[in-house]
Amino acid sequence: MLHIVACIKQVPDTKIIKMNPKTNTMDRASAPAILNPYDAHAVEEAVRLKKKYGGTVSVLTMGPPPAVKAIKKCIELGADEGYMISDRAFAGADTLATSYALTKALEKIAKHQPIDLVICGKMTIDGDTGQVGPGIARRLNIPPLTGVKKVVEINKEKGYAIVQRKLEDGYEVVKSTLPCLFTVEKEINDISFAPLPNMIKAARYQPTIWTADDLENVDRKQLGLKGSPTIVSKVWAPPKPEGGQLLEGTAQEQVNKLLSIIFEKKELFQ
Amino acid sequence: MPEKFDCIVVGAGPAGTACAYELAKAGVNVLLLERGEYPGSKNVMGGVLYRKMMEDIIPEFYKEAPLERPIVEQRFMMMDKESAVTFSYKGLEWGREPYNNFTVLRAKFDQWFAEKAVEQGALLVCETVALECIVENGRVVGVRTDRPDGDVYADVVVLADGVNSLLAKQLGFHREWRPDEVALATMEILKLDKGIIEDRFNLEPGQGCTIELFGDATKGILGTGFLYTNKDTLSIGVGTLLSGLIKHKIKPYELLEYVKNHPMIRPYIQGSEPIEYLAHLIPEGGYHSIPKVAGHGVLVVGDAAQLVNAIHREGSNMAMTSGRLAAETIIMAKEYNDFSESMLDHYRMKLMESFIGQDLKKYKDATHHFDAFPQYFERYIPMMNRAASQMFTVDGASKWEKQKKIWRDFGSTGEKLKLARDVIKAWRVMK
């Protein structure tokens, strides 16, 4: 029986978020909080693997109390249990401190039931770093398999996993020992329409919530802002693309114009 | 095995949520189903929430609910093309506890209200569409949703699924509404600075004003326009009977654009920025259109039961009260473990004895009357404007002469008699 843990995060919906024009930071209150879309695919894959090989799926998040909603979303998707670490001591964490805190929580979960596989989304849509997954793998000393686009096989008895990793010009097939950690691409699966019993279970569900004190062997200096060496020295908005040209006229005229422009600027395409 | 609840409420609008809240508070195991992403995401209303009926459910809700502004002034504008006769009442007693009513934005308010029901123990499941009632041996025993393994059972199902109530229709409780039984309302939310709103509407900080628009606001089609003040937005809209839109071959958004550009309205909204566009049907059939509201194992509440007083633009209050009365009936039915139609029909009796039944009865012919005799909106409102203009224009003519001119403007002797008859008829349908 596999025990898969998906690490997830509640993020502001950056598709509709407004930026503060003065500080160039996100106005988090201006957008609803959602389950990070990549993480939804991570949970979905965990649930599919559970259905195929048997086992349980736990989800883990770090966040403020409203992040319970993101865990409930995962229960809707078919996760069995949810764990949340929530404490002011975790606030202001960068990817280094976040991976540390999540690792401590994973160690605690593993004591209860050993973990065979950790799945994370490729990255979060608010930070876009993609560092937390590999950070956890390094701290747990297990192989990180990033950019997973397909899980070919999991074999717990023989202790290996085979996956396809996305590359710029294709994909590679990788075989790894278990336990290991995947970070997954969106194309790995389509999110299923949750069955009603899951929806009802999620509406009732209360996750296990741990504070910093509940975790074991924690070095407090590595938590939250204190444990975050990242310095944001400057934030700026990307320059707006310029120089676009709208072609007018009949379809034939537009095509002719387009071809002549391409011909003029052919060096750009070489 | 599909799960069984004591009660399933379909729709988390004011009616459904009020019902679920009261049931949960009484310890009834209730499932509240909502098709939207969250309660309020699909709901539309001009924006007036009545304090009394809400307080019947949650006392002193105004201390924590997300409200926009308490209304201290209600204006009524009888509009012609370039003029308006306005009357209004402003009372500062409405600006203090316990208040009279408030403007609200439904997306925020409904979400808050549903959270309150969840706190009481109701189970809220969103993004789930109830497709039909499950009927066994002539009794409603549950609901079939659009989700996999989507059947769920209950002793009683409350249909709070809004104006079209497909579920009640499937049960044969009502037919398709006629175009003169529903109004189509379109509205926009316009962003405008708080201070500018208060200046333009003559308000103290935090206070609110509503303006109802008659006559040229709807180009003479039976219906009303409205302009309400929110915290830092305005709600502006028009609602007309669907039959009127069909008859005049006019598109609802054209009517909204017309109101926004009307010289009597434009100065209020100048410089504002539209941030949302909403449209919804409103059940305005009134008393005669109230469908069957109780059956074996099923009750119908709110818009689904046509509970709207179009004349006084009241609906959300009736929704809440009907939800509460349905809950009382279910709690009683549960004591006797009897969910038959004869037991649940107590709800209909409570409904008819309450202000809902009484008010809808009072105005039972009003909408139909004004729909059948368009001269009130098309002819008499412009006439009222001309009379006011005549009387208040100082041009050297004596007031007697002015009265004579106004009298002549009322038309021939025959037309005057018709006017007198229309006034009496209007009094009869409104009294």
Residue B216, both tokens: 């040229």
How crowded is residue B323: how many other Cβ atoms within 10 Å of its Cβ? 31
Position A239 in a domain: no
Q: Taking 80 as the threshold, does the pLDDT of residue A269 lie above it?
A: no
Residue B325, both tokens: 């009365």
Position A8 in a domain: yes
Interface contacts A/B by beta carbons within 8 Å: 33
DSSP 8-state assignment for residue A160: E
pLDDT at position B186: 94
Q: Which of A15, A18, A199, A205 is best to mutate for the B interface (most B CBs within 10 A)?
A: A199
How many alpha carbons lie under 13 Å from residue B90 in its C-beta half-sphere?
A: 13
Q: Range of A122's domain?
A: 2-227
Residue in A150, A89, A109 with CA at minimum distance from that of residue A7: A109
B145 vs A196, A203, A204: nearest CB: A196
Round to whole Å and give the CA distance between A90 and B236.
46
Please tell me if residue B125 touches chain A, with a CB cutoff of 8 Å. yes
Round to whole Å and give the CA distance between B247 and B269.
30
Position A240 in a domain: no
Position A89 in a domain: yes
- Mapped onto helix, strand or coil, the DSSP state of residue A82 is strand
pTM, to two decimals: 0.88
Please tell me if residue B178 touches chain A, with a CB cutoff of 8 Å. no
Position A246 in a domain: no
CATH number of the domain located at residue range(s) B4-68+104-177+288-353 in this protein:
3.50.50.60
Contact residues on chain A for B151, CB-CB shorter than 8 A: 196
ipTM: 0.86
- The string of DSSP codes covering B226-260 is EEEE-SSEEEEEEEEEHHHHHHHT--HHHHHHHHH
The gap from C-alpha A87 to its chain's centroid, in whole angstroms, comes to 21
Position A236 in a domain: no
Position A270 in a domain: no
Q: At what angle do helices B316-336 and B355-362 cross, to 10 degrees?
A: 130
Cβ of B123 and A204 within 8 Å?
Answer: yes
- The string of DSSP codes covering B283-299 is E---GGG----EETTEE
Cβ of B148 and A196 within 8 Å?
Answer: yes
Nearest residue on chain B to A76, judged by CA atoms?
A: B125
Round to whole Å and give the CA distance between B177 and B195.
43
Question: Which CATH fold would you assign to the domain B182-283?
Answer: D-Amino Acid Oxidase; Chain A, domain 2 (3.30.9)
- The domain tally of chain A equals 1
Position A233 in a domain: no
Which CATH number covers residue A204?
3.40.50.620
Beta pairing class for B48-50 and A208-210 = unpaired
The b-or-e profile of B227-241 (16+ CB within 10 A means b, else e) is: bbbbeebbbbbbbbb
Residue in B240, B249, B243, B224 with CA at minimum distance from that of residue B177: B243
The domain ranges of chain B are 4-68+104-177+288-353, 182-283, 367-430
Residue located via tokens 């909403």: B278
DSSP 8-state assignment for residue A131: -
pLDDT per residue rounded down to tens, chain B (431 residues) = 789 999 999 999 999 999 999 999 999 999 999 999 999 988 888 889 999 999 999 999 999 999 999 999 999 999 999 999 999 999 999 999 999 999 999 999 999 999 999 999 999 999 999 999 999 999 999 999 999 999 999 999 999 999 999 999 999 999 999 999 999 999 999 999 999 999 999 999 999 999 999 999 888 788 899 999 999 999 999 999 999 899 889 988 899 999 999 999 999 999 999 999 999 999 999 999 999 999 999 999 999 999 999 888 899 999 999 999 999 999 999 999 999 999 999 999 999 999 999 999 999 988 888 888 888 888 899 999 999 999 999 999 999 999 999 999 888 888 888 888 888 888 888 88
Give A22-63 pLDDT, tens digit per residue. Answer: 777 777 777 889 999 999 999 999 999 999 999 999 999 999
